[in-house]
Amino acid sequence: MINHSSLSDHDFNRGKFITPINKVLAGNMKDNPWFQLRLPEYLWLALILKYYGREDGLVKCNLLLRKVSEYKSLIELPKFSSILNLPDDEQKKLFIQFSEIIDNEAVAPLTAIFTYTDARCFATHFFTQISLEERIESINEVISKLSYHQTEFATDLRFLVVYYLLLVGQLHTSKENLELLMQYPTLTHSNETMRMIRPMIRAIEVGLPNDINNDYLNIFWEGVSRLSDCELFKIDIKPEHNGAEMYISKIKEFLQYYTELFTSTRPLDNRMLVILGIATYSYKRLLEVVEHNLYQTIVGRSVVRVLIENYIMLKYLLKNESSHKDIWTEYQYYGIGQYKLIVEKHRESGKDLSDSHVMYDYMDLLVNEYKDEEFIDMDTSYFNNDAIRIKAQKVDEKELYGLYYDYDSAFEHGLWGAIRESSLLKCNSPSHQYHCVPDIENEQKLKDIWCDCEKIMDKIMKVLEDEYGLPNYFKTEVTND
């Protein structure tokens, strides 16, 4: 099991949570990822391990590395790019020695990428009748096994890198560590001692100075990706909105009751109008989900966000009404002030936007509905100066905000996490570095929002019940269902 640092372990500084390891490293960590940058250099050794199996493969690689170490002044690490950069005559000499130790077929898959054009000596010496498809398949298989740097296979490969440093006299460690390292090829991975050796190998290898050969890496990744097809997959997420139509119907019945109560007994009660207005707006957003099958969509997440904000605002207005002369009217004029600002910006632009979805003339009428616009100020801050996060804290809904609102806001703002989850499919091909591909066919469905919608709408309806009651026959009906 991976042990993750908790949120409380992070340092919060200037709006940013800093991980414990980044705090220690303070930006000094090398950007040198195993999969993209280091693995391709050592793939030739991995192919040999795959071809011969672990026990014989380690022996073969030991013999090969001894031959390579004779060029230690030119080859600091057993990188394939360094071998290919040797003078032609030295390459030929070395490859002949390779062929005395291993079958040419062991590393021949690399000729699919490093062809006569890019690596004349290598491609000529290791020419093979193996089909291009088989060579690429072999490479992909090995890359897949090595993609995670802590697998046993990856650790075997990283051991060979460390072992090479021992051969060329560039690894300086304690006698105890040296003895452990020399045991590694003789032990199976099930041996308890390996629990100490493997982390040590990985720690040594990741800390090695490693000059990046971008030309080599570009040839490698471009070659293997170009010769491989995408293997796209999507997460199969089932819908979870059974009973949605019945639920929305009951919410409508409840709102009809409260609306009749309002019109018949309190038609001028502005407080009740605002509360019912917020609840009805929430209902209409929920209705859109049902009528347009938005349960597993991006738009659906916008609905959850709105429901949360409406609920928090309702609680905030109720909690603070005693400290305001008329918080309900304040709330109304805050929103109308936002409309006035939009209308004013349109006027100043002088543009004909009659084909826009924004009905500026109608908005102007709404602004002047209760008061001449000349008497309506425009507040550009959030209502009552408290951001929604602060409002959530003040009404004891910090958890609701933290667990849901931020997530759904990512979809509203088009942040990368939301884009990645909703609009990109994962490619399972290691040769493509497990990249992503745009989901233009809309195959990826998101997790159904309905369960959360019900929970939050229930909270909103509970506010109405607490304020205005609910007849027993409604409660009985709900219980029976």
The pLDDT of residue 329: 92
The pLDDT of residue 29: 45
> pLDDT for 110-154, tens place per residue?
999 999 998 999 999 999 999 999 999 999 999 999 999 999 999
> pLDDT for 159-177, tens place per residue?
999 999 999 999 888 899 9
- Helix and strand numbers (H, E) in the chain are 22, 5
Residues 237-251, mean pLDDT to the nearest whole number: 93
The pLDDT of residue 211: 86
% of the chain exceeding 90 in pLDDT: 71
Residues 459-475, mean pLDDT to the nearest whole number: 90
| Banded pLDDT at 7 (limits 50, 70, 90) | low
Q: Residue 219 carries which side chain, given as an amino acid letter? A: I
Distance CA 356, CA 19 (A): 46
Residue 275 has pLDDT above 70, yes or no: yes
Residues 376-397, mean pLDDT to the nearest whole number: 81
Distance CA 208, CA 405 (A): 43
Tokens of 458: 């229930």
Lowest mean pLDDT among 21-30, 142-151, 235-244: 21-30
Residues 270-279, mean pLDDT to the nearest whole number: 97
The pLDDT of residue 480: 42
| Other beta carbons within 10 Å of 156 | 22
Residues 251-267, mean pLDDT to the nearest whole number: 96
Q: Residue 456 carries which side chain, given as an amino acid letter? A: I
Whether the CB-CB separation of 436 and 416 falls below 8 Å is answered with no
Mean pLDDT of the chain: 89
Distance in angstroms between the alpha carbons of the first and the last residue of the chain:
43
| Banded pLDDT at 341 (limits 50, 70, 90) | confident
What are the residue boundaries of the structural domains of the chain, listed by start?
34-228, 244-322+387-480
Q: Report the predicted TM-score, pTM, of the whole model to 2 decimal places.
A: 0.73
Residue 24 has pLDDT above 70, yes or no: no
Distance CA 306, CA 319 (A): 20
